[in-house]
Amino acid sequence: MFSAPQTDEPLTLRERLRDLRATLSLVWHASPAHSATYVLTSLAGSALPAANLYVGKLLLDEVARAAQGTVTYRALLTLLAVQVSLVVLGNLISTVQNAAQQLLGDSLQHAVSRRILGKASTLSVEAFENADTYDRLQQAWREVGSRPLGVATQLVTLAGAVVTLGSVGALLTTLGPWVLPLVILASVPAVIVSNRFGVEGYRMLRRQTHDARVQNYLGSLLTSDTLVKEVRLFGFEGYLMDRWRAYYLGFRTQLVTLVRRRSAWGFAAGLLSALLIGLASALILRRAASGQISVGDFSVFVLGITQVQGTVSSLLNGFSAIYQNLLYMRNLFAFLELPTRDLDAGETWQGRIESIEFRDVSFRYPLTDRDVLRDVNFTVRRGEALALVGENGAGKTTIVKLLTLLFAPTGGQILLNGQDAARFSPRSVQREMSIIFQDFGQYQMSARDNVALAEVGRLDDIGGVQDATRQAGAAFIESLPQGLETPLGRLFQGGRQLSGGQWQRLALARLYFRDASVLVFDEPTAALDARAEFDTIQALREQTHDRITLLISHRFSTVRLADQIIVLSGGEIVEAGSHDALLALHGRYATLYDLQARGYS
Ligand SMILES: Nc1ncnc2c1ncn2[C@@H]1O[C@H](COP(=O)(O)OP(=O)(O)OP(=O)(O)O)[C@@H](O)[C@H]1O
């Protein structure tokens, strides 16, 4: 039922480096000042552990010598002062570093979100109907807050770890050449295990993306305010819960397998590491027993082990974290690199649209193998109303998508005033069109916004909004507590919920608000009562005398008002003509009309 999730091909080193460069450039451009502060404070902070170890060692050795009476109190105090200064410096550095990281993270999240939203707003309607693109968009959007900053901080941590390891390692090397290699070796197994399972965990999540989206959707059905009535009445909560849980159980099985394997390997790695540290300690103690190292030296060894282990692990984990974050970034870049349809490409359409002609138009949705429209021919001129009728799935809405240039035909031509529509920029043509879709938007904004969104350049045109609401029979809006400024919908506090019919009238007002030469009504009266339908159609007739009107409706009382009626079946035109001519044909239209007329009587 659902398409397969994205495949995860491994990245080549070149691709990874390219993505790394692109990520760093993204981070840097998000906030150069905070990036620089973060890098400098991180590197400075990385040198502090070695300095602390060294001063601690000096202090311990001096204390030991003091026991023999060769050191003054003053000398000890001086060392203490140095140690305290290091602590204060460390605090200062980490305070600045944290602040810089937080602000950088915020700027970065904003910058990446803007790019994702910017991209999403240039993607074609087609792209949104593709499950793969939609998965990518969702994933990019979900992880925008953590991943890009993750790459940057991990990279800086990596550089810092090199500084720490170099400086602490130099101190440890003074205790014997084998100390550092043994301690480093002891840190490696645990890190390898954690890296390997980190990548596996990421792959698991990625494989689950698609199913997780389905699971989320099922959950959203149970928590939706608009669907609760239907869900309660039909009582399919249990079914939804079962399906939701089935997905969870699938994920759970995969997680259990992963956790079991990771735990077993983790335990083995810990054991190996303890053995190696034990060996290093025994060797140091042998030197201590023969009086070759001081108390201070021993403290460097004991504290140094923890430092080196922590650093090696953050070094190796850093690589794997960067790798994982880069997998995400690839996903983000792949989304940002998706081809977009430049809605402004082509000649700019000027003036009114006087005629629209479909010439042998065929259409097939991307990634499908069936033409949903075949050889569709019709012409409609200014002042005429064309109605499309046909059973569900006949292709009516698809014709609207083509006519409004949301999609391009896969065969044939659409001519506007006799010129090929493909020559013109879709946006410039769309400016001459206004539409009410079957699934029109119910924007959880003010009533005024709901109308004026049709032409955002005229958001303040209160008179225009009032005219449009009156034409659409939506004048009830003005009697709401805050008039046109009343917030609508129940998503946000203080919002006023409207009925289905009221929302539809508002959508009609939106259609009228735009001064367009083509008006498209896709099931405009579905949610309206008979009286409202009559008023709407009256208004429509007044409104449309000098425009092109396209009307999709299952109500013949509406359809019969059109000058030309096209009957579609299975993507083809089977009958066309005026209401009277089609009745006289005694064909499919006449049959459907009779059927509905009988239903009404
Ligand atoms: N995005 C899509 N991808 C693939 N096929 C689609 C898509 N949208 C619609 N279709 C298919 O195209 C055909 C025509 O659909 P269309 O929405 O144009 O029908 P319609 O006549 O408007 O139906 P209704 O009266 O139910 O609104 C249907 O078979 C439908 O399954």
Write the pLDDT tens digit of every residue in 322-374. 887 888 888 888 888 888 778 888 999 999 999 999 999 999 988 788 999 99
Q: What's the gap in Å between 400 CA and the centre of ligand 1? A: 11
CB burial class (10 A; 0-12, 13-18, 19+) of residue 211? middle
Report the atom number in ligand 1 closest to the C-alpha of 368: 4
Residues 48-79: tens digit of each pLDDT: 999 999 999 999 999 988 888 787 888 889 99
Using CA atoms, how far apart are residues 399 and 571, in angstroms rounded to an integer? 9
> Which of 150 and 416 is assigned the larger pLDDT?
416
- Residue ID of nearest Cα to ligand 1 atom 16: 395
pLDDT value for 329 = 87
Q: What's the gap in Å between 228 CA and the centre of ligand 1? A: 26
Residues with CB under 6 A from ligand 1: 129, 365, 368, 372, 390, 392-398, 438
- Residue ID of nearest Cα to ligand 1 atom 25: 392
Res. 530: pLDDT tops 70: no
Report the atom number in ligand 1 closest to the C-alpha of 388: 21
- Contact indicator for 462, 534 with CB cutoff of 8 Å: no
The torsion angles phi and psi of 305, rounded to 5 degrees, stand at -55, -50
Q: What's the gap in Å between 395 CA and the centre of ligand 1? A: 6
Res. 3: pLDDT tops 50: no
Q: Which residues contact 452 (CB under 8 A, 6 or more apart)?
A: 458, 459, 461, 464, 465, 510, 513
Phi-psi region of 575 (alpha: psi -120 to 50; beta: other; left: phi over 0): beta
Average per-residue pLDDT for the chain:
88
Element (H, E) at 328: helix 295-336
> Which of 77 and 523 is assigned the larger pLDDT?
77
| 482-508 mean pLDDT | 87
Using CA atoms, how far apart are residues 296 and 477, in angstroms rounded to an integer? 82
- Contact indicator for 563, 386 with CB cutoff of 8 Å: yes
Residues 390-418: tens digit of each pLDDT: 988 899 999 999 999 988 999 999 999 99
pLDDT value for 7 = 43
Q: What is the ipTM of this complex?
A: 0.97
pLDDT value for 325 = 84
- Residue ID of nearest Cα to ligand 1 atom 18: 395
pLDDT value for 558 = 80
Residues 229-245: tens digit of each pLDDT: 788 888 899 999 999 99
Q: What's the gap in Å between 397 CA and the centre of ligand 1? A: 7
Q: What is the CATH number of domain 442-515?
A: 3.40.50.300
The torsion angles phi and psi of 421, rounded to 5 degrees, stand at -65, -25
Share of the chain above pLDDT 90, in %: 47
Residues 10-52: tens digit of each pLDDT: 778 888 889 999 999 999 999 999 999 999 999 999 999 999 9
pLDDT value for 209 = 85
pLDDT value for 4 = 34
Least trusted range by pLDDT, from 117-121, 213-217, 529-533, 542-546: 529-533
The residue ranges of every structural domain in the chain are 11-175, 176-292, 442-515
Using CA atoms, how far apart are residues 284 and 293, in angstroms rounded to an integer? 8
pLDDT value for 54 = 94
